Structure 1
């Protein structure tokens, strides 16, 4: 049995935990009975490591090392929530076993990757790549390559190019949807069923200038891409793809002077609450509110900086907003009914990510330059625990295994 060092201290009423560097190994876990529903991974971006954490106990179970460049990393989970697939910036796809707390598979599949997704049936893991531009699809069990989809397109001068791919999500029907930044397109990749010899099908749509990230609505119907090259968003209705891509919220920044963009919003952090979408505005200190019935702009909520993540608690009661440099040391909480900022929190230096526990009683917040993760009670909005971490960034709980578009 591995040693877990537990340091209890009174720091603003919080508990403080520290991780051990000693690996338990698969044999040490063999006689333990453990579920995965309250587990998760925290990315330690500077050291190429991840922490296996327990949300119920607010504790760090183990540090797993050797995952390469995690400076822009994300995680998806297998259907049984046992395995995490970690997408590294160096093109690494790493399969982590949360029960044995070890790496069970790793491939370097490109030169520069930017995230990924797992299919609805859990059989395929897709990776979105900057270099070379395109998407690669792997068998989730073996990590064998299943499909290689280069993001080739024709430039305005007639030459062939290969685009960076962004905004990769899974969609119902065993589909993957992603955007081509350089080509200004959205592609839908329909993965085959179990019929022998069937091949993936690819459909292309024109999407506007420089889509930089995207999200899919919780019902899996609407894929929405933010556009870096214009004030507006592109939306594809996956129930009616014959209609093509339509523009929504056109000119949302019209008449306002855009500010320098220090960090692009992460649109998978968009949120839907009370029939409205809450969206980070590019180049503005605003959260946009759109009516989802017709996607018209309802309101612009002023916030203290340029929003990066705009996330609703699972009950949709409050909206939590993080920010880009230089005002990235705070979180602001918005009441979803009044659409007013009700609290400004200070978790630490360089806040990078938030993640709600599955039923929303707590939210975990990473502060990269403070080397800690702070846990907040979502009812009182007060901190209840702190965990030591080495330059933490993304926080990913296994509840994601049962959600679309994550």
Structure 2
């Protein structure tokens, strides 16, 4: 058996996979507790399991993973990894191999998988737009250029791509200040609905867990843009307009990520652009309910699945700390100093563990979220994103 913390000693290690016994054992493993850790410097991912908190092996040859993200097939067996070089890689987590890889653009920024599991969409900076592929063979299905301006001659960077119920996707156009919703029917071209005047420079977006609201954060102004997906005819509504109240913003060294949204009961916790605070928003009427002063500029604010805590990491130069926010008192209840380059946080499905990547220390730390005790420390090469297969069962992930 693999050693508890062995990086390459598990069932999926490249050498072990040459043997039939290792393949048979790997094939018998379920996928519900699997996940991947992106190793950005080496263009690889580690396959991990959360029950024993071990690494099962490494899959390499995935290109530029400096801003990589991933989604999963419905059964959790395959991960689809989006690389900054435009690479779309389909990984077989049980066999520990690249099942298929295409370089579909020059610069991509993330993607989403449709609710039926048949389509994977990629948001691209270059060329600006969304490209859709079937998940079986990664064959092209649709191309949606993010064209705007007079005659549609300009192309916008696409950000905030998220899946919607009904084989749909929502995404924002950073340069155009627009939000688009696209449905991709089994037959025929995509059906695209455009919402203009969404605000200046939408930089990311997310869908609420019930699939009802798409929210885009705005970099060019204080506020957010919201579309009620049950009533899209109402158009774009503003949320927290002018939350900076004329204050001079602090420098932004790293853009916050709204995809790490924190929905806790009736509150949504959002990073404030250019400010060292979280905004607590009532998701019933989208009004501000309070603010939480933080250690630095928040990057990810992620709720424990039961909504009792929100864990937050921060941008350079204060990226060595993780804070735990109590969602009832709106106070910071605990802080960890883990080392420079805390990049990402991911909870296990029931929230008993949180996995945290610490890039500059080349390790992934695992904590018990109730006792706050460290459970394990796994070596990894410049780890960044951590993605668990439980995401396959959640809208907007």
| Misfit runs of 4+, over 4 Å | none
Residue 89 (structure 2) pairs with residue 97 (structure 1) = no
CA offsets, 1:232-291, max 9 Å, x none? 100011101111111110001113220000000000111111201100000000000111
TM-score by length of 1: 0.94
Task: For residues 206-227 of structure 1, give each alpha carbon's deviation from its aligned partner in whole angstroms, at most 9, with x where no partner exists.
Answer: 1111000011100000000000
Distance 1:186 1:293 in 2: 22
> How many residues were matched structurally?
390
Report the secondary structure of 1:242's partner residue.
helix
Q: Kindly indicate whether the alpha-carbon contact (under 8 Å) linking 2:7 and 2:56 is maintained by their aligned counterparts in 1.
A: no
Question: Are the equivalent residues in 2 in contact too, given 1:211–1:225 (CA < 8 A)?
Answer: yes
**Runs of 5+ unmatched residues, structure 1:** 7-15
Alpha carbons 1:25, 1:102 under 8 Å: kept: no
1:356 to 344, 347, 372: 347
1:261-280 aligned within 5 A:
261-280=252-271
Structure 2, unpaired ranges of 5+: none
Instruction: Find the aligned partners of 1:340 and 1:211 in 2 and give their Cα distance.
Output: 29
What is the Cα deviation at residue 22 of structure 1? 4.1
CA-based RMSD:
1.3
The structure 1 residue matched to 2:250, chosen from 254, 259, 269, is: 259
Equivalence for 1:169: 162
> What SS is found at the alignment partner of 1:30?
helix
Partner in structure 2 of residue 198 of structure 1: 188
> Does structure 1 residue 240 correspond to structure 2 residue 231?
yes
Question: Helix, strand or coil: the match of 1:31?
Answer: helix
Distance 2:246 2:145 in 1: 39
* 3-state SS, counterpart of residue 369 of structure 1: helix
Q: How does 1:268-307 map to 2 (within 5 A)?
A: 268-307=259-298
1:187 matched residue in structure 2: 180
1:11-41 Cα offsets, whole Å, 9 max, x none, are xxxxx55434644337454322110001100
Partner of 1:365: 356
Q: Is the 8 A contact 1:23 1:63 kept in 2?
A: no
SS in 2 for 1:220: coil
- Looking at structure 2, the residues matched to 348 and 164 of structure 1 have their Cα atoms a distance apart, in angstroms, of 33
Q: Distance in 1 between matches of 2:390 and 2:360?
A: 27
Measured in 1, the distance between the counterparts of 2:367 and 2:111 equals 28
Conserved 8 A contact 1:351-1:367: yes
- Displacement of 1:298 in angstroms is 1.2
Q: Deviations over 1:60-101 (max 9, x none)?
A: 000111000000000100011100000000000000001101
Distance in 2 of aligned mates of 1:240 and 1:293:
15
3-state SS in 1 of match to 2:24: coil
Residues 1:218 and 2:209 are matched in the alignment: yes
| Residue of structure 1 aligned with 2:67, choices 59, 67, 72 | 72
Alignment TM-score, normalising by the size of structure 2 = 0.96
Whole-angstrom CA distance in 2 between matches of 1:395 and 1:259: 28
Alignment counterpart, residue 378 of structure 1, candidates 369, 380, 385: 369
In 1, Cα distance between the equivalents of 2:163 and 2:349? Answer: 20
Residue 33 of structure 2 corresponds to residue 38 of structure 1 = yes
Following the alignment from structure 1 to structure 2, what is the Cα–Cα distance between the partners of residues 199 and 255? 45
Query: What residue is the counterpart of 2:8 in the other structure?
Result: 19
Residue 281 of structure 1 contacts residue 287 of structure 1 at CA under 8 Å; is this kept in 2?
Answer: yes
Distance in 1 (alpha carbons) for counterparts of 2:156 and 2:351:
38
